[in-house]
Structure 1
Amino acid sequence: MKKENTSVDQALKHGRNTVNLPVIGILFVGFLVFIVCTTQLENKGLAAGIGLPVVFITPLVYWSIAATRWRIWAFTNVRNVHELEHRAVKAKIIGRRDSWTEKLEIRSAEQKAQWQRLLDKFNVPDEFHDDKGVPFETVIYFSKGQKIFQILMGVLFIAMGIFLAIPAKKDIFGWISIAFGIFFAGKALRDYFNNDPQLVLNEKGLKKKKGEFTGWQHISGEDVIMKRRGKHMQQLLVFRTQGIYHEIQVFELDKKGSELEKLLRIYRGRFEENQKAPSTETDTYRF
């Protein structure tokens, strides 16, 4: 049997390089060619009618072929297929299983048979690989850099408001801008000097600010996701505790989304390993 010696991170990096990046490149080059061609042709309507579909269909066809090739290679060479599938879908390398996106993948008869055989690997739980570089506890605070940026944005709104309102004395938009800037900068300034932990993670569980400690046995669905809020996408740390759904905005914190994902995996994994063989460590936790 072939040794599964490729890590999930290595497989995902290979997927981004061979699937995602080429798709973006093909789309970008296609648009450039389309723009150049339409400027040279007299019948621009006909050029647009033919060119635009080609611009979008070409990267889609590439993805449909490349995603299948990566899927077969990655799930053959990686041991932890559950983690791989979850993270690959989030990275948009492949579509979720049985989704319409997956149905767009182009597979030969041989590739279909290979994938059916690989599905048997999902009957085996993932192995936990600890990372000794992750401390026994991680305390997460507000991001100082993000707060400085927000303060500067608030000052900018105040300056714009002064420019609009002071000379005319009647520009309501100027006064609104000043009020918004004061509120925005004031809140960011308050958070900048707030040194209270916003989130604490360890192998026993987690604790939100002003919240009670919750053990991993009472937590489910922990993940870092992108969620639409109005016209914007926000990165959120989400989890459930005893039926209650929690959301924490990642951009407010001093850890990136990818770092939080890793911490969640490691601490959850350590907890589950400790359930099999209780730990004798005497580390001091914040809770």
Structure 2
Amino acid sequence: MQVSVEAALRRGNLLLKSVPIGLFLLCLLATILLGSLKVIPAWSMAVGLPAGMVVAWLWWSVAVTRWRIWSFTHVRNINELMDLAVNDKLIWAESSWFGRTEIRTRAQREMLQQLAFRMEVDDEVRDDPAIPDRTCIPYSTVYHVVLLIMWLPLLGFGTYMVRGTDAPPWSAFLVIAVGAWLTFDAARKLRDRSPRITISREGITLARKGAFAWGDLWDEQVITIGSGKSSRTVLKFHDASSGVQEVDIDDLKTSKTGLRHALKIHRYRWTLDQPAVGGQVPRS
């Protein structure tokens, strides 16, 4: 049964991210619990951190090969999948030393060698009627409502500092100023329903940056930069005249998967409008 690239990525995120994180936390919490109950020596609790890391890495090293084989036998666009898997940090790039930590049996190595020809097959793109002629992406309502709920108490706390505490006036006014700005910014974006990103068969239009035609663009990516609380998800592409363009999408009404799909379909529609080269026409 053939599955989509998106479904394969979801499976990869479960096997190669969620499970290792769960195993790491389980090892860490187990040693802390057993140490607090004096089942193991107290110093053994310090072993939980490195033990969890080793167990999580071993799981990834074994599971990643199984996921690769499953993907090669179930996914049509294997080149797209492997590129996105590297971007999403499910697997390491071919040039990375860490890729050598994948654990493979002899049978698995032989199977991957037999399936290697799949990387030579061009990816296939088909139009998706569910994607409209223009994909307009505004600010996310839910995201900014949550921000308002977070920042309004900060504004109230600053007011309380002025009247109900002995805190220095400058510190209270600083809290009020920060709270007021954050609240105003969230409210402004909540009311702004204009599209921040518009994608069509003509190209990509970014608010305050203008339009970029498909013919001048290459290497469109939706990637997560950084890790943990400092991570952010961005739309990134190269433009022939203005260079690299990058826009955060964390506060927009879209998802990494949805935006990637929209970019692929709209660019494909643009290729259909281009003159045939060498008597060939794009596949539909």
Which category describes the TM-score, using the shorter chain as reference length? 0.7 to 0.9
Equivalent residue, structure 2, for 1:128: 125
Equivalent residue, structure 2, for 1:103: 100
Equivalent residue, structure 1, for 2:280: none
CA-CA distance at 1:128 after TM superposition: 0.4
1:27 aligns with 2:24: yes
Equivalent residue, structure 2, for 1:285: none
Q: Contact conserved, 2:34 with 2:40, CA < 8 A, in 1? A: no
Task: Please tell me the residue identity of whatever aligns with 1:196.
Answer: S
Equivalent residue, structure 2, for 1:246: 245
TM-score using structure 1 length? 0.84
Residue ranges of structure 2 left out of the alignment (5+ in a row): 278-284
- Aligned-CA RMSD value: 2.6
Q: 2: CA distance between counterparts of 1:229 and 1:91?
A: 11
Equivalent residue, structure 2, for 1:145: 142
Q: Contact conserved, 1:20 with 1:93, CA < 8 A, in 2? A: yes
1:207 aligns with 2:205: yes
Q: Contact conserved, 1:153 with 1:181, CA < 8 A, in 2? A: no
Q: 1: CA distance between counterparts of 2:21 and 2:260?
A: 25
- The share of aligned pairs that are identical, in percent, is 27
Q: Return closer, same or farther for 1:74/1:228 CA change in 2, 3 Å cut-off.
A: closer
Equivalent residue, structure 1, for 2:67: 70
Equivalent residue, structure 2, for 1:175: 173
Q: 1: CA distance between counterparts of 2:227 and 2:159?
A: 30
Task: Please tell me the residue identity of whatever aligns with 1:28.
Answer: L
Q: Return closer, same or farther for 1:89/1:165 CA change in 2, 3 Å cut-off.
A: same
Aligned residues: 274
Q: Return closer, same or farther for 1:19/1:193 CA change in 2, 3 Å cut-off.
A: closer
Q: 1: CA distance between counterparts of 2:185 and 2:45?
A: 49
Q: 1: CA distance between counterparts of 2:57 and 2:182?
A: 42
Equivalent residue, structure 2, for 1:115: 112
Q: Contact conserved, 2:201 with 2:269, CA < 8 A, in 1? A: yes
Equivalent residue, structure 1, for 2:254: 255
- Residues 88-143 of structure 1, C-alpha deviation per residue, up to 9 Å, x if partnerless? 23344322223133211011233223323433322222010222111111112122
Which stretch of the first structure deviates more once superposed, 11-20 or 62-71?
11-20
Which stretch of the first structure deviates more once superposed, 6-15 or 223-232?
223-232
Q: 2: CA distance between counterparts of 1:25 and 1:231?
A: 18
Q: 1: CA distance between counterparts of 2:251 and 2:268?
A: 26
Say which of 213, 225, 228 aligns to 1:227: 225
Q: 2: CA distance between counterparts of 1:20 and 1:204?
A: 37
Q: Return closer, same or farther for 1:135/1:31 CA change in 2, 3 Å cut-off.
A: same
Equivalent residue, structure 2, for 1:270: 269
Task: Please tell me the residue identity of whatever aligns with 1:175.
Answer: F
Say which of 151, 156, 165 aligns to 2:153: 156
